Structure 1
Amino acid sequence: MKKWSEAFQVASVYVGTIVGAGFATGREIVEFFTRFGFLGTIAIFLAGILFIVMGSKIMLVAIEIKAKSFEQLNEYLFGRRLALIMNIFLMVMLTGVCAVMLSGSEALFTEQLGLPSRTGLIFTIILTLFVMASGVKGLFAVNALVVPMMVIFNFLVMLSVLKLGSGSIPLLLFSDVDRGGEAVLSAFSYAAFNLALAQAVLVPMAAEIKDRTAVKLGGVIGGLLLTVILLSSHVSLGTLPDPAGYEIPMAVIVKKAAGALYYLYILIIYGEIFTSLIGNLYGLERQIRGYVPIHSFWIHICIFLVVYLVSLVKYGTLLELLYPLFGYISIGFLILLLIRPIKAR
């Protein structure tokens, strides 16, 4: 019974780490899957298999080599010299993702709540600094609350869309066969990007639990949940004539199909943005602190100055530029993780 309890905790944190602004708002799913139509559905299953297999392997390798941080895991995968480059790259990715989260919060407040520009951004920065000053002990608890709500809401929205009979979901029935290779590459880059970032949380969590069965089961459950959320969102997004034309397409779907749930869903989206921002900021701060021994508050301020400048770019543009780029580069991480044995040297 204890193993199942630990497994569900692992799964919750795993899903919560990956389900961020782009995922929850639907923009990320459109960019990597829905724009490919039926081929996008196949790509989701491929990405789901990678999440199940490789998420578990990250944690199993971490236990075997007794890694307590993603630096040690990267050193095992890449060697000492290349690991330094990968760690710097991961810090850049974390900064970019923080910028996407911050830009996403602004888009949420402006596009969906009709508030003045920069309101969401300023509010989120202040709230994040306040929470980080008091620690991040509530991060796992928030994930345990938000993730089940995300799963339930996605299903409710999908059922509402199908009940309304929004056509035959034409976007999901047809595909350009010539884009099959692009869809497969998109699935690999999406999984690689998210797994490369998730290691910052999965590695220390596995080191703390130390139970191979629990982390392996947690990886499987988490991967399955991610696949289910992806598929349900993909089906809903396929009902929009031009899903790429919206900054937050899932919110548009919810407003049309389940208006009564709209503001609660907006709250859930913000919860995902906020928890992802805190998690990435924490990982970035812990990494920088190893090189610059100053108080965490000043590190957070410096990070936010950089992140703020990057977040000035439009949210949708950031997703289109940064996520695919990070995904393609992260494929190297995924390939080495695939070929490396689960055995300490």
Structure 2
Amino acid sequence: MLSLRQLGLALRIGSVYIGTAVGAGFASGQEILQFFTSFGKDSFWGILLAVGLFAWLGTRMIMMGSRLHSESYEDFNFYLFGERLGKWMNWLVSFMLFGVTTAMMSGTGALFEEQLGISFHFGVIFTALFSYLVILKGINGILSVNSLVVPVMFLFIGMVALHALQETDLSAYIFFSLESARYHWFVSAIIYVAFNLSMMQAVLIPLGSKIADESVIRLGGIMGGIGLGIMLFACNTAMQIYWAEVSHLKIPMAFVISTLGAGVKYFFLLIMWAEIFTTLIGNVYGLTLNLKQLFNLGQPLIMALIFGLGYLFSLFGFPALVGFLYPLFGYAGLAVIFGLVFRRLPA
């Protein structure tokens, strides 16, 4: 029987897990739309598969971080792939983290521009500066932010899904079908999990290194996986119901939320920005720790370079970055899934 303190720590682990995955693509709906909703009724099976893999493999990843006592994902990849291949994987993960950081920054710009009528550039720069200040506080700052934001996001997504179901005939969702998906729902779900786990190692490995109690890690990992699944189901259901209205939008969930009223919409946009923010700080934190080991540069300078280059690449546009980079990184991340499945936990 776990104590209240252990349960609280497990809940914080689950919140960080969810907060790291729920970035610009997830919170905006763009990522869910491309990987799940576009498969119509088959999206249900894809999400079910993703939930199982997140709960199982995410927990194993945190456990490896705990047993390796690693401050960055470098030792994790060396353990999974050996020193030679691990070195290449570390460079690949660093590139992937930077690519997703770019998408996060572009997502904040799209949110400010499309939903608030404020400059894209202001949205990106404001978010980058705020992220910079939080990351300087280290893993404790990331834990605190996620513990605050994730429960509120969870509550709102549940409200949105319930409202959408009350407003429509449920059969419209059950029999929703599309023929334009690029590949099978099974492949899409695997790619989605591979992509996210590859990114999440930047936070989950350092997080695991701070926690010795494996019973807490197991519970926290399962909480995170199931929590992600519930949010996926809720967002997917709502977007399928409003498919005709949201399929062409950069931020499809914003329309769904607008059906609850203007006041709720703007509050949710704030929460959506906060969720993008949680993933952004996690990615940059992990990338900074790794680059700090490779180059003789201070953490503030490394972060400044990451955010500066990220701003330049964010100008390519949010949907284009999600549609091209995320599947590409998902295929590259399949190696991480295989490593987590077949490699034994460290002694």
Residue 102 in structure 1 maps to residue 100 in structure 2: no
Counterparts of 2:7 and 2:134 in 1: how far apart (Å)?
30
Question: Match of 1:238, as an amino acid?
Answer: Q
Cα distance per residue 1:225-274 (max 9 Å; x no partner):
00000000000111223433111100110012343311110000111112
Q: Is the 8 A contact 2:69 2:210 kept in 1?
A: no
Q: Is the 8 A contact 1:169 1:238 kept in 2?
A: no
Cα distance per residue 1:13-70 (max 9 Å; x no partner):
1111111111111111001100001111110000000001101111223334444432
Residue in 1 aligned with 2:129? Answer: 126
Residue in 1 aligned with 2:242? Answer: 240
Mark the CA change 1:339 to 1:236 in structure 2 (over 3 Å): closer, same or farther: same
Select between 268-277 and 254-263 the one with higher mean Cα deviation.
254-263
Residue in 2 aligned with 1:183? Answer: 185
Residue 50 in structure 1 maps to residue 61 in structure 2: no
Residue in 2 aligned with 1:339? Answer: 342
The share of aligned pairs that are identical, in percent, is 37
Residues 158-177 of structure 1: pairs in structure 2 closer than 5 A? 158-165=161-168, 167-168=169-170, 170=172, 172-175=174-177
Residue 279 in structure 1 maps to residue 282 in structure 2: yes
Mark the CA change 1:186 to 1:90 in structure 2 (over 3 Å): closer, same or farther: same
- Cα displacement (A) at 1:74: 1.0
Select between 26-35 and 235-244 the one with higher mean Cα deviation.
235-244
Residue in 1 aligned with 2:80? Answer: 77
Counterparts of 2:185 and 2:102 in 1: how far apart (Å)?
26
Residue in 2 aligned with 1:312? Answer: 315
Select between 95-104 and 293-302 the one with higher mean Cα deviation.
293-302
Equivalent in 255, 260, 270 of residue 258 of structure 2: 255
Counterparts of 1:313 and 1:286 in 2: how far apart (Å)?
27
Select between 64-73 and 226-235 the one with higher mean Cα deviation.
64-73
Counterparts of 1:119 and 1:271 in 2: how far apart (Å)?
16
Residue in 2 aligned with 1:206? Answer: 208
Alpha carbon RMSD of aligned pairs, Å?
A: 2.0
Counterparts of 1:65 and 1:94 in 2: how far apart (Å)?
21
Residues 292-311 of structure 1: pairs in structure 2 closer than 5 A? 292-311=295-314
Mark the CA change 1:169 to 1:249 in structure 2 (over 3 Å): closer, same or farther: farther
Cα distance per residue 1:302-342 (max 9 Å; x no partner):
21232122111110110000011101110111012111122
Residue 193 in structure 1 maps to residue 203 in structure 2: no
Residue 151 in structure 1 maps to residue 154 in structure 2: yes
SS of the counterpart of 2:324?
helix
- Cα displacement (A) at 1:169: 6.0
Question: Match of 2:157, as an amino acid?
Answer: N
Residue in 1 aligned with 2:226? Answer: 224
SS of the counterpart of 1:238?
helix
- Cα displacement (A) at 1:181: 6.2
The number of residue pairs the alignment matches comes to 343
Mark the CA change 1:298 to 1:169 in structure 2 (over 3 Å): closer, same or farther: farther
Counterparts of 1:40 and 1:321 in 2: how far apart (Å)?
20
Residue in 1 aligned with 2:293? Answer: 290
Q: Is the 8 A contact 1:52 1:219 kept in 2?
A: yes
Mark the CA change 1:342 to 1:136 in structure 2 (over 3 Å): closer, same or farther: closer
- Cα displacement (A) at 1:88: 0.4
Counterparts of 2:133 and 2:220 in 1: how far apart (Å)?
31
- Cα displacement (A) at 1:134: 5.6
- Cα displacement (A) at 1:126: 2.7
Select between 105-114 and 269-278 the one with higher mean Cα deviation.
269-278
Counterparts of 1:134 and 1:11 in 2: how far apart (Å)?
20
Question: Match of 2:220, as an amino acid?
Answer: G
Residue in 2 aligned with 1:269? Answer: 272
SS of the counterpart of 2:307?
helix
Counterparts of 2:187 and 2:152 in 1: how far apart (Å)?
30
Cα distance per residue 1:90-118 (max 9 Å; x no partner):
10011011101110011000000011342
- Cα displacement (A) at 1:295: 2.3
Select between 67-76 and 168-177 the one with higher mean Cα deviation.
168-177
Select between 206-215 and 119-128 the one with higher mean Cα deviation.
119-128
Q: Is the 8 A contact 1:24 1:269 kept in 2?
A: yes
Select between 179-188 and 304-313 the one with higher mean Cα deviation.
179-188
Question: Match of 1:37, as an amino acid?
Answer: G
Unaligned runs of 5+ residues in structure 2 are: none
Counterparts of 1:209 and 1:302 in 2: how far apart (Å)?
31
